[in-house]
Amino acid sequence: MLRDRFGRSFDYLRVSVTDRCDLRCTYCMPPEFKGFEEPADWLTFDEIERVVAAFARLGTRRVRLTGGEPLTRRHLPQLAGRLAALPGLEDLSISTNATMLARHATALKAAGVARINVSLDSLDHAGMARITGRDSLPSILQGLAAGKAAGFDPIKINMVAMRGVNDHEIDAMAAFCIEQHFILRLIEVMPMGSTGQDSAYLPLHGEYDRLRVKFGLQPQTATLGGGPARYLSTPDGHTSIGFITPMSQHFCASCNRVRLAVDGTLYMCLGQEEKYELRPLLRAGASDADLEQAIRVAIERKPEQHDFTRQPDKIIRFMSQTGG
């Protein structure tokens, strides 16, 4: 198992397959942004497989495919199938905005993707247009229906809660997820890049108490995936509401993940600058042993915690550049 100098174990790798997206969520990417990586600098499927295989040999058991929007990368189900077959990998999942999920859900399930997380910040057409740059709600709802039909269960809904933007819709989203048996995860916005720094932060501790009372929810001790969410469960146990609080109640001491960007850069922390570039090694003919040693060196660079609260303007790269 990979361990850092603070004694934390790392069994979770998030792999960004693209920094492109068909939406422009206000907290993630500016509408005018053009600074995308050139396709020649993207890791190929062979290179991604080599990196993930090296992590798996070192004890990583969970991999999540992210972006940008991962479904904009051509032939993604093929990559998913290759990763799902790797020895040692126990859980392959994907984060998506679901606008293209209706086309790919069946193939992803057949390839071995076990779980999907869907970004959905509003159930209002105008609200989605304001947040994502266009009315993406119809295609997302179609994607969710296709995900259910393909057999993904449970499906997690990620809602970034923002004061004065969509906080008035939290109850409606909770009711929708309870009705559909989706797992809702409310997420505090992080000050990454100008988009995140300009977003209206909403601490979630008040929402935790309010939703617990309103929907008769109970604290849940069972974990749901490898993430940091704290969950409340409905009395019948059919669904849960999670709270991800990187700002008001950070979970750095139990962090279990690193992120691989589309260009092969390993980012150690969303809220710090420590990184390690793997692409030069891969394209210089590094052996598997060289690659594993580079990953160990990278893990040693992981900082103790982020600086979002002390230096909220520190991280100028956008979330889409890091990998969600």
Angstrom distance (rounded) from CA 304 to CA 313:
19
Sign of CA dihedral 33, 38, 39, 43: negative
Q: Which residues contact 90 (CB under 8 A, 6 or more apart)?
A: 61, 62
108-134 average pLDDT score: 97
Angstrom distance (rounded) from CA 138 to CA 116:
18
Q: Choose among 263, 258, 321, 315: nearest CA to 19.
A: 321
**What confidence score (pLDDT) does residue 250 get?**
85
**What confidence score (pLDDT) does residue 312 get?**
67
Judged by DSSP in three states, 236 sits in coil
Based on its alpha-carbon atoms, the radius of gyration of the chain, rounded to whole angstroms, reads 19
Cα dist from 180 to 141, 157, 231, whole Å? 11, 11, 17
Angstrom distance (rounded) from CA 196 to CA 28:
6
Angstrom distance (rounded) from CA 228 to CA 212:
19
Tens of pLDDT, residues 146-189? 999 999 999 999 999 999 999 999 999 999 999 999 999 999 99
119-133 average pLDDT score: 97
CA atoms within 13 A on the CB side of 222: 7
Tens of pLDDT, residues 226-274? 778 899 999 988 899 999 998 888 889 999 999 999 999 999 988 888 9
- 28 is written with which tokens? 């993630």
309 pLDDT higher than 80: no
- 18 is written with which tokens? 């693209």
Neighbours of 50 (CB within 10 A): 18
**What confidence score (pLDDT) does residue 273 get?**
87
**pLDDT confidence band for 316 (50 / 70 / 90):** low
**What confidence score (pLDDT) does residue 320 get?**
77
**What confidence score (pLDDT) does residue 315 get?**
67
**What confidence score (pLDDT) does residue 78 get?**
98
Angstrom distance (rounded) from CA 260 to CA 268:
9
Neighbours of 217 (CB within 10 A): 20
323 pLDDT higher than 90: no
**What confidence score (pLDDT) does residue 193 get?**
78
Average of per-residue pLDDT values in the chain: 93
| 198 compared with 108, residue with greater pLDDT | 108
Tens of pLDDT, residues 53-97? 999 999 999 999 999 999 999 999 999 999 999 999 999 999 999
Q: In the block, which residue shows the tokens 């993630």?
A: 28
Q: Choose among 266, 259, 295, 279: nearest CA to 41.
A: 279
138 pLDDT higher than 70: yes
Where in the chain does DSSP place strands (E)? 2-3, 9-10, 12-16, 62-66, 91-96, 115-119, 155-161, 183-188, 218-220, 230-233, 240-244, 257-260, 265-267, 275-277
In whole angstroms, what separates CA 215 from the centre of its chain?
A: 27
Per domain, the residue ranges of the chain are: 2-322
User: Candidates 3.40.350.10, 3.40.50.620, 3.40.50.200, 3.20.20.70; correct CATH number of 2-322?
Assistant: 3.20.20.70
Q: Are 136 and 128 in contact (CB under 8 A)?
A: yes
| 29 compared with 143, residue with greater pLDDT | 143
**What confidence score (pLDDT) does residue 124 get?**
98
122-151 average pLDDT score: 97
Tell me phi and psi for residue 79, to 5 degrees: -60, -45
**What confidence score (pLDDT) does residue 34 get?**
84
306 pLDDT higher than 70: yes
